[in-house]
Structure 1
Amino acid sequence: MIYIFKTSVKTEKDIKKLKPKLDHLASNIKWNFDLEDCDNILRIANCEILEDRVVNLLKDYNFECKELD
């Protein structure tokens, strides 16, 4: 399954800050940000996670995050 989130993450520095926490959300997690997209998309693939965990993680670091349908 692929999860897609709209975020307020804007820079590579932001991504580096989040990397350790995103890497530990689930085993075999694959994720990436598309900062060239107007919604600064975060894609997470190949894992079963709760969407709320991702949203709350980013909110803990003062980023907005919303799952897209």
Structure 2
Amino acid sequence: MLYIFKTTVKKKKDVKTITRIFEENEAILHFNFDLEDRDKILRVKSEKLEAPEILSLISHLGHDCEELDL
């Protein structure tokens, strides 16, 4: 499943921190950020995680995140 989120992530150093956490999580198959987009889009592909679990990961790292409808 592909999830798309609007985030408050703005800095590349924050993306690096999130990248480390996401790369350690085997349930996340692929992810990417679009910091150029005004909504600072995060896309996550996972067959095991649901949106609330991904939201929790981001919020534990100090960022707000909300799922967008596809």
TM-score with structure 1 setting the length: 0.87
Identity of aligned residues (%): 42
Q: Give the whole-Å Cα distance in 2 for the aligned partners of 1:63 and 1:25.
A: 22
Q: Give the whole-Å Cα distance in 2 for the aligned partners of 1:50 and 1:10.
A: 24
| 1:17-28 mapped onto 2 (5 Å cutoff) | 17-23=17-23, 24=25, 26=27
Q: Give the whole-Å Cα distance in 2 for the aligned partners of 1:52 and 1:32.
A: 18
Q: How many residues align?
A: 67
- What letter corresponds to residue 27 of structure 2 in structure 1? A
Classify the secondary structure of the residue corresponding to 1:66: strand
Q: Give the whole-Å Cα distance in 1 for the aligned partners of 2:65 and 2:20.
A: 17
TM-score with structure 2 setting the length: 0.86
Q: Which consecutive residues of structure 1, in runs of 5 or more, have no partner in the other structure?
A: none
Moved over 3 A (4+): none
Q: Which consecutive residues of structure 2, in runs of 5 or more, have no partner in the other structure?
A: none
